[in-house]
Structure 1
Amino acid sequence: MINLIEAFENTVELYPDKLAVLDANSEFTFSALKVKSGILSFYINQKIGVINSPVAIYLPKSNDCLTAFIATLYSGNCYVPLDTKNPVSRITSIIEVLEPSCIITNNENISKLTKTELDHSIINIDEINFAEPIDPVENYKNCIDTDPAYIMHTSGSTGIPKGVVITHKSIFDYTNWLIDTFNISENEKIGNQAPFVFDNSTLDIYLMMFTGASLYLIADQFFTFPIELVKYLNAHEINFIFWVPTALVNVANMNALKDQNLKSLRKVLFCGEVMPTKHLNYWINNLGKDVLYANLYGPTEITDACAFYIIDRKFEDDDVLPIGKPCRNTDILILNNKNEACMTAEQGELCVRGTSLASGYYKNFDKTNAAFVQNPLNKNYPEIIYRTGDIVYLNENEEIMFVGRKDFQIKHMGYRIELGEIEHIILQTFNNIYTCVLYDPTFNEIIVIYEAKEEISLKTFRLRLKEPLPNYMMPKKFIRIDSLPKNASGKIDRNLLKKTYTP
């Protein structure tokens, strides 16, 4: 198979009456999802009549949003999720660069699009009669595996988000690896946390489409109330989750597993942030021995994940988890400042080569050429690698260890410091706390923003951190807030905190 719809068609044939996806308002079987997607694909084709063009999806995470993704693929085009929670200015900047062939939205969100004051070709999904039988278009048969399947936007240094172009081939490579590595079948009940504008959702969506697994779109409000979240997992017998660590940490901090046993949960995967070992141990200690845990690593530009580590030994609370080894058909290079391969224990930048690489950034050749570069270790023929900007090293077990971002590294009092290391130490030293460590270059201060039920005195912080932290790494300020803000991906919104506390 070379096209994602071919895989979906095969699944529909095998499991037509099985639950495909469930949200707060409706549920679709695989055959119903195909029918609805097929009808919508007819209207997309009628509106634009081309292939390999971006179709923007301006809908909240829902069954309708997923339908629009699949319909776009049926039409031979690539879908572009837009966050309905984003400010109009951000949506405007994305649309101006993207110039989508059309935008799919609904009654609730169409008025927001008018505020962009741009000329859109719009399909209102609420105005379509899905009871009218229409055969799906088959333009997807004209596409090849290097054609784009979706464009996912990430933050750009200029303030304009970068559109990462991911192909059918890359998704096949990633999804088939997932199926084989984690033994995924039609029996999986996947509890989705990732917003559809975040690349972690790629795993949830395509495991459903490829295997016949059932996908449960958990409403955002459940992640604000961890005890209710656990009840949801139990009620629906969820046996597989792939969440950002923040969601797992919140459950641990609220001790939400104390009185509720997640009897069905068998696979817990996480990605997108550093997973605090202390909080992982809470899950391990409360769920028992029959649960698989895996730490996945990767930026959007390599189709969600390029490295993984299945937890296979005991870690102390103050240990750091490996990000492990490369995924199948992926190679990871660790390069020093001279573009040479690092030795064991030598820190360098993690770079990736393989089928999983994105095609580049949509309509941004300068940024593409800066990040997707010739492999400096290959002097014989053209070979592209992606430079992640992440600092890592190989430990004595030949496992990749994450150190931090290049841009999380600061120079303070003459020392080079990883802010992530300070966060890690605080999390291991204090219970029921969650932190974000910032640096204010104007006043040369390290600042801790922390989430906790009660304020911790400055004296207590300094006394308890005096031993694990050297003087030059000791934060100057500790600021308690009720809740650390989250971005669209469910991770800590560091940019918002920087703007608020280091203006």
Structure 2
Amino acid sequence: MEFVKKLQESIEKHTDHNALCINNELYTYKQFAIEISKIRLEIANNIKDSEKLVGLVTNDDLQTYASILALWLEGKAYVPVNPTTPLERNIKIFELTETKYIIDSSEDSIYKKDYKVLNSASLSETEVSLTPKFVKGDQIAYILFTSGTTGLPKGVPITFNNINALVNAIDEEPEFNLVPSDRCLQMFELTFDFSVVTYLFPFLSGSCIYTIPKGAIKYFYIFKLIKEQKLTVLTMVPSIINYLRPYFSEINAPDVRYCSFGGGALHSDIAKEWSDCLPNCKIFNYYGPTEFTVYSGFYPYNKKTHVKNHNGIVAIGTPQKDTVYLIVNENNEEVDKNVTGELCLGGPQITPGYWKNIKRNAQSFFTQTDKNGKKIRFYKTGDLCFKDEEGDFLYVGRADFQVKIRGYRVELAEIEFHAKTKSEKKVNMVALDITNSLGNAELGLAIESEVFDTEEIFNYMKTKMPGYMIPMHVRFIKEFPHSINGKIDRKELRTYFEIK
């Protein structure tokens, strides 16, 4: 596969350059190549060719990043799980993918009882071997799991062809060009789709990525890295700069060349303030869901020339190479310009479909014939948008009750599902996304009842869901407000949560 070959060439070309900075320790591409080769040999010796899906515990270390490339060179896919997420959830992911092998750099793996664990941290030296095996483009490169409405996470498989199409699309952008001297922020968990672009493009360019240690306060650590390591490329979720806002007066970062946002709405007021901190920077507001291999298009924000927004949310711009944007009504028919509808994405980056989820695939994907008679398969994003007269796409809001919390996509129905499962009282519970005083989304749980002790419910939820999905605020409401058509009025419910 083309991009894997490019990774090999980049690593071999930049052996003396730094590849990663993890917890203040630098590793060269030569060291990276050695780790990749050691893990690759371990995979070749222990995992059958027929086993294509391999679990990966996403520790913040050299071996974890090397494992991804080792798996790709061997024509296999990684199925990442976060070590801080409840064990039951991670095991469910391995069950859904029928994963038998797990790569884990932990000193003592908690998975060795039930799985064949390859410890990537204690392997013998071997010769560098970076030549990739032949891989069919439709083979899976990774599967990421997002929140699901039934309490089960949804698997999104991404193929080698999907990633190759993303690389080709970004390569076509004249405005974006990483170089070996770039120092790039990698703030994302490897279970989150944005992590793919924050390690892939630096490695393809011989640049160095700077990670955030697990347990560190992210925004504070980023502030430190920008200041001390003079980072040149930032890829972030917008909520991070909300937390950095009190420090804007202290931030002057002339070294930053590129700053990309995604994974949530970028508000124009804070974007302008942030751009003042980065005097020599090009800012991109990227758009794209996990189901479309991270990025599908972007808007080049500039506080003087490109400030297009709707209700204070910066435009998502135009689709990138080979990607088709289509805005449709409830019958999947294209709507006119300036008419709000659901944004659908078509092109070579589209996932083959949710993992073993026929019902969801029928709801989320459809095929349409274009004006030239070509059939295009589309993914329904659930995002409400419209296309303006100049061809830019603007974001309006979510079509459903799926929200972004700290960049992660969360189904509110999953939170409600787990809360109700453990509750002895059979009462209405509604999960809501609420905006705090910093402008960031937080989760609240509204309960239609007199006050009762929720400790058992919350303890249960903590065993079922990651920390970012646990509501931070609870309100007991005697009677929920309802709309004219009899539905619970979620908008009115939010007024009960006044967060200072």
Q: TM-score range by the shorter chain?
A: 0.7 to 0.9
SS in structure 2 opposite 1:174? Answer: helix
Aligned residue in 2 for 1:153: 145
> Secondary structure in 2 aligned to 1:258?
helix
Aligned match of 1:204: 198
| Residue number in structure 2 paired with 1:110 | 109
Hey, what's the Cα distance between the residues in 1 that align with 2:402 and 2:133?
Answer: 47
- Contact 1:321–1:401 under 8 Å retained in 2: yes
Give the deviation of 1:107 after TM superposition. 3.5
Alignment partner of 2:495 out of 476, 480, 493 = 476
Q: 5 Å matches for 1:311-326?
A: 311-312=301-302, 313-314=306-307, 319-326=312-319
Change (3 A) 1:363 1:383: same
Q: Report deviation, 1:302.
A: 0.2
Q: 1:78 to 1:152 in 2, by over 3 A?
A: same
Could you say which residue in structure 1 is the equivalent of 2:454?
Answer: none
Whole-angstrom CA distance in 2 between matches of 1:364 and 1:90:
18
Distance 1:198 1:7 in 2: 23
Is 1:193 the equivalent of 2:182?
A: no
Measured in 1, the distance between the counterparts of 2:275 and 2:312 equals 15
In the superposition, relative to structure 1, how do residues 17 and 135 fare at CA in structure 2: closer, same or farther (>3 Å)? Answer: closer
Aligned identity (percent) is 24
How high is the TM-score relative to the length of structure 1? 0.78
Task: Show structure 2 runs of 5+ residues with no match.
Answer: 404-431, 450-469, 473-490
- CA distance in 2 between partners of 1:281 and 1:309 (Å): 14
Does 2:318 match 1:299?
no
C-alpha deviation, 1:361, in angstroms: 2.2
Deviations 1:337-389 (A, max 9, x none): 12211111211111111111112223333333432322266795653211111
Paired residue for 1:56? 55
Root mean square deviation, CA, Å: 3.1
Query: Following TM superposition, by how much is the alpha carbon of 1:396 offset from its aligned partner in structure 2, in angstroms?
Result: 3.5
Gaps of 5+ in 1: 411-418, 444-448, 452-471, 482-503
Alpha-carbon deviation of 1:5? Answer: 2.6
1:52·1:147 contact (CA, 8 Å) conserved in 2? no
Equivalent residue for 2:117, pick from 118, 122, 136? 122
Equivalent position of 1:345 in the other structure = 338
1:274-285 matched pairs, under 5 angstroms: 274-285=265-276
Is 1:24 the counterpart of 2:43? The answer is no
Matches within 5 A, 1:283-432: 283-288=274-279, 290-312=280-302, 313-314=306-307, 319-375=312-368, 382-408=375-401, 423=435, 432=438
- What residue in structure 1 maps to residue 4 of structure 2? 5
Give the distance between the partners of 2:402 and 2:358, measured in 1 at CA.
27
Closer, same or farther in 2 for the Cα pair 1:78/1:474, shift >3 Å? closer
- Amino acid across the alignment from 1:386: Y
- Superposition deviation, residue 397 in structure 1: 2.9
Counterpart of 1:233 in structure 2: which amino acid? I
| Residues 473 and 378 (structure 1), Cα distance of their counterparts in 2 relative to 1, 3 Å cut | farther
- Equivalent residue for 2:79? 80
For residue 234 of structure 1, the aligned residue among 227, 232, 236 is: 227
Aligned residues of 1:12 and 1:30 also touching (Cα < 8 A): yes
| Residues 1:16 and 1:322: Cα distance change in structure 2 (over 3 Å) | same
- Distance in structure 2 (CA, Å) of the matches to 1:409 and 1:189: 34
Report how far residue 42 of structure 1 moved: 0.9
Number of residues of Structure 1 aligned to a counterpart in Structure 2? 430
Cα pair 1:56 1:103 within 8 Å, conserved: yes
Write the distance in 1 (CA, Å) between the matches of 2:371 and 2:445: 38
Judging changes above 3 Å, is the alpha-carbon distance between structure 1 residues 13 and 64 closer, same or farther for their aligned structure 2 residues? Answer: closer
In 2: Cα distance, 1:48 partner to 1:409 partner: 38
1:207 deviation in Å? 0.6
Q: 1:45–1:75: 8 Å Cα contact kept in structure 2?
A: yes
